[in-house]
Structures are given as C-alpha cells and as structure tokens.
C-alpha cells in the first residue's frame, strides 16, 4: 500500500513557487481556477494511486477547516 509523502521532497522550491504564481498572470479569476484545476488533474493522473490521492484530498480538506 502506497502512502502520501508529506515530508519536504522538492528541490528548487522557490523557482517552482514563482512558476505557480506566473501561471495566473493575466488570467481572470475563472481562468485562474481552471488553470489550477488542470494542474491538479494532471498531477493526480501522474500519481495514479487512488489511496494516495484520497489521503491528499483528506489532508487538504482538513487544512481548510482549521
């Protein structure tokens, strides 16, 4: 059974953050939400493990309720 890795696991995090911010440049709020949705769906497809994806959704949902 796979598990969600929540430990820091990223190099070049500042560059990636800048790219995420740039993703929204010039977009309306609706277009920005569509871009986020496309990115999330692409990453979910790449992960491909339903248990890991469900765990990530649960953690994201819990974080929003704090």
Q: Mean pLDDT of all residues in the chain?
A: 94
Average pLDDT over residues 38-47: 97
CA separation for the pair 52, 37 (Å, rounded): 18
Mean pLDDT for 9-15 is: 94
CA-nearest of 31, 41, 1, 35 to 20 is 35
d(CA 65, CA 62): 5
**Residue 32: strand, helix, or coil:** helix
SS3 15: helix
Per-residue pLDDT at 61: 94
**pLDDT above 80: residue 13:** yes
pLDDT-derived band at 25, boundaries 50, 70, 90: very high
pLDDT at position 1 is: 62
Give, in order, the Cα–Cα distances in Å from 34 to each of 19, 45, 48, 59, 60. 16, 16, 21, 22, 18
pTM for the structure as a whole: 0.83
């Amino acid at each position: 059974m796979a598990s969600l890795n929540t430990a820091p696991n990223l190099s070049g995090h500042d560059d990636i953050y800048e790219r995420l911010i740039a993703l929204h440049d010039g977009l309306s709020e609706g277009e920005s939400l569509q871009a986020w949705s496309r990115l999330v769906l692409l990453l979910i497809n790449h992960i491909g493990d339903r248990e890991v994806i469900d765990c990530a959704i649960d953690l994201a949902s819990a974080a929003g309720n704090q």
